[in-house]
Amino acid sequence: MDAHDGNVFLHDGLYYYYGASYGLCKEPSGPSGCTVWHTGGCGFQLNHNVSLYTSTDLSEWTFRGYVFQMSSMKTQGIMFGPRVLPNPMTKKWVMWFNFLPATGTGVSQSQCAVSISDTPQGPFQLVTDKVTTLAWENTGDLNLFQDDNGDAYIIYNSHIDASIYKPDHLMSVEKLSDDYLSSLGRTFNSGYF
């Protein structure tokens, strides 16, 4: 399966696994397999898409195709960490993911992007390549949580200015807007780590 750092969701008796497609790239040799962190290294390619696999039993999986194509982005960059939730109010499927715009010799700060679809099978269409309502910038790993009442939250870490803050990471939990397309910007954070 070419699907990485995504999520599994059960809907109408079918498991959906959304993950970043790395194009079956090969990691460089070395003690960690990752010697550099830049565009072109360690799976940080500009050709990632979001793969969808489905299963009825979590054992046998069927590839359903790419539900989001990076070629649809206005700006080239690296995508990872797709997370998908259904929105009971809008009846849309909402995908958040990390996006690192390419900057010639490397990547800029990471940001969150959002896309939507009418069905869990996609295709997902980009809403924004940078969510501007988050309390913190330069976002890292993220996850989405949906409460029983339909409220949704984003949980993410942020890489903050190491010259000011020690340590230089912050974990934040923020409630999403009713349409799940943005954060309300009110943060509940764990402090720095």
Q: Which CATH number fits domain 4-192: 3.40.1390.30, 1.10.150.130, 2.115.10.20, 3.30.470.10?
A: 2.115.10.20
Q: Residues near 26 by Cβ (< 8 Å), separated by ≥ 6?
A: none
* Sequence spans of domains, the chain: 4-192
H or E element at residue 51: strand 49-55
pLDDT per residue of the chain (193 residues) written in tens, 0 to 9:
877 888 999 999 999 999 988 776 665 555 545 555 555 555 667 778 899 999 999 999 999 999 999 888 888 888 889 999 999 999 999 999 998 887 655 545 788 999 999 999 999 999 998 888 777 777 778 899 999 999 999 988 776 555 555 556 677 889 999 999 999 987 666 655 4
Q: How far apart are CA 20 and CA 46, in angstroms?
A: 12
